[in-house]
């Protein structure tokens, strides 16, 4: 797979990953507890948690009149210390993966 570069030679950079939510308040409570931090932006339409270089967003498409299929619209993958890998579902039906590399 190649990374597309623009005319200046810059590569695309991932800035945000987001999942669709039906209930922003419920999703914000869930992710604030999961991440152990408050969101850097929180409103009814789009909320965000900041990580090193990539933000994790929550999007309520009903504010834009969009139709959304909820659950597994994106599979966020978070790395932790120790050797583990497990999946669970958030309050909006999205599958979340937590993993780590052994000995790294």
The domain ranges of the chain are 16-62+71-99
Q: 16-62+71-99 is classed in which CATH architecture?
A: Roll (3.10)
Segment 30-35 shows an average pLDDT of: 96
Enclosing H/E stretch for 97? strand 95-99
What percentage of residues in the chain have a pLDDT greater than 90? 33
DSSP 55-92: EEEEE-GGGGT-----SSS---EEE-SSS-EEEEE-TT
Q: Which residue has the higher pLDDT, 76 or 92?
A: 92
Give the pLDDT confidence score for residue 102 in this predicted structure. 66
Segment 96-100 shows an average pLDDT of: 80
Among 3-17, 27-41, 83-97, which stretch is predicted with the lowest mean pLDDT?
Answer: 3-17
Give the pLDDT confidence score for residue 67 in this predicted structure. 73
């Amino acid at each position: 797979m190649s990374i597309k570069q623009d005319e200046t030679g810059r590569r695309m950079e991932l800035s945000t990953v987001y999942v669709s939510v039906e209930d922003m308040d419920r999703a914000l409570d869930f992710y604030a507890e999961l991440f152990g931090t408050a969101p850097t932006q929180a409103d009814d339409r789009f909320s965000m948690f900041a990580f090193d270089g990539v933000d994790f967003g929550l999007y309520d498409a009903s504010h834009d009149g969009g139709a959304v299929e909820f659950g597994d619209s994106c599979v966020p993958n978070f790395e932790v210390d120790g050797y583990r890998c497990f999946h669970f579902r958030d309050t909006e039906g999205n599958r979340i993966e937590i993993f780590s590399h052994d000995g790294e």
